Amino acid sequence: MSDVFRPYERLVEITILGRTFLVPERNSLLRAFQFISPETIPYGRFCWNQECQYCRVNCQLSDDDQSRPILSCKFIVSEGMNISDLAPELVGCLRTKLGQSGIAGSETPDDHNGR
């Protein structure tokens, strides 16, 4: 699986819905999500080229004063990123890593299908 990641020398700390994770530097945020959850992200409905919009998140960088929407397939991860909101597809893929407290209040399309 290391072939899918750009070369990196260290892991950087990011926060996703209040939970802290270490992810490889110099990679897109979507690849960082794949590093966190390699068993689900590759099977999500992501196009990896900004067309589908399924990887949209609200993110605040360490030097920003407020969060802003970004596409995680196009944004390079950086130390101190704080992701405060995830698109439903990402919520579904990261559910087991975030735990129920992290995704409380978020609704995925599967919630209505009894899955």
CA-to-CA distance for 29 and 55, rounded, in angstroms? 9
pLDDT tens per residue across all 115 residues of the chain: 568 999 999 999 999 999 999 999 999 999 999 999 999 999 999 999 999 999 999 999 989 999 999 999 999 999 999 999 999 999 999 999 998 655 554 444 444 333 3
What average pLDDT does the structure give for the chain? Answer: 88
Q: What integer pLDDT is reported at residue 3 of this predicted model?
A: 85
pTM given for the model: 0.85
Encode pLDDT of 55-72 as tens digits: 999 999 989 999 999 999
Q: What integer pLDDT is reported at residue 52 of this predicted model?
A: 94
The burial class, CB within 10 Å (0-12 / 13-18 / 19+), for 75 is middle
Residues with Cβ within 8 Å of residue 89, at least 6 apart in sequence: 44, 45, 46, 54, 55, 108
> What is the distance, to the nearest Å, from the Cα of residue 51 to the centroid of all Cα atoms in its chain?
17
Specify the residue for token string 């399309």.
109
Where in the chain are the domains? 2-100
User: Which one of 3.90.1720, 3.40.1000, 3.10.20, 3.40.720 gives the CATH number of domain 2-100?
Assistant: 3.10.20
